[in-house]
Amino acid sequence: MLKRFLPNEHVKNIFEIHPEKLKDKGIKGIITDLDNTLVAWDIKDATPEIIQWFKLMEENNIKLTIISNNNEERVKLFSEPLNTPFVYSARKPLGKAFKKAAKDMHLQKEEVVVIGDQLMTDVLGGNSAGFYTILVVPIVKTDGKITKINRQIERRILSWMRKKGMITWEE
């Protein structure tokens, strides 16, 4: 059961994710979390670096969809200027939003990577739905109330995985 919390990869931030490496894995689409993955949870707009990263993926024919447990207003405000499809109130880690995003991109799950900063929502949801997963370090250390609880559970899971030799990266 705990293996469902184990991402396929771990990176410091999304800028360490390059289209060439994704293409080498057969990846044609990205499902990405928003808050603390792309920008800090309290930042409403994409940064110039994020805009450039999205353009880089688009130039390499890699489709993007943002899925978030946040409300429609928050996700729409961020996604629309990027001309990026989105799913709000996604109810991650449930698989429905992940599967919908892949279907809307006209891609098979083997062609899609899920990127996010939380084991409890992004990695668990992506893994349970059969996607390749990449865990990123959260952009900021602060979180909303629910996420704070998730982070406490995540620390315990990561500690156990580290002791078992399942992961080697540092927090």
What is the DSSP annotation of the chain? -GGGG--SEEESSGGG--HHHHHHTT--EEEE--BTTTB-TT--S--HHHHHHHHHHHHTT-EEEEE-SS-HHHHHHHHGGGT--EE-S--TTSSHHHHHHHHHTT--GGGEEEEES-IIIIIHHHHHTT-EEEEE--SSS---HHHHHHHHHHHHHHHHHHHTTS-----
pLDDT of residue 165: 75
If you average pLDDT over residues 166-170, what whole number do you get? 68
**What is the gyration radius of the CA atoms in the chain, in angstroms?**
15
Residue 135 lies in a domain: yes
- Whether residue 148 lies inside any domain: the answer is yes
Residue 91: domain span: 2-163
Read off the pLDDT band of 145 (50, 70, 90).
low
Per-residue model confidence as pLDDT tens digits over 24-36? 999 999 999 999 9
Please give the share of the chain, as a percent, with pLDDT higher than 70.
92
Q: Is residue 62 part of a domain?
A: yes
CATH of the domain at 84: 3.40.50.1000
| Average pLDDT value for residue range 139-148 | 69
The answer to whether position 168 is within a domain reads no
What is the number of domains present in the chain?
Answer: 1
- Residue 170 has what pLDDT? 61
pLDDT-derived band of residue 20, with 50, 70 and 90 as boundaries?
very high
Residues 34-53: tens digit of each pLDDT: 999 999 988 899 999 999 99
Mean pLDDT for 136-158 is 75
Does residue 170 belong to any structural domain of this protein? no
- Model pLDDT, residue 42: 84
* 169 in a structural domain: no
Q: How many CB atoms lie within 10 A of CB 144?
A: 14
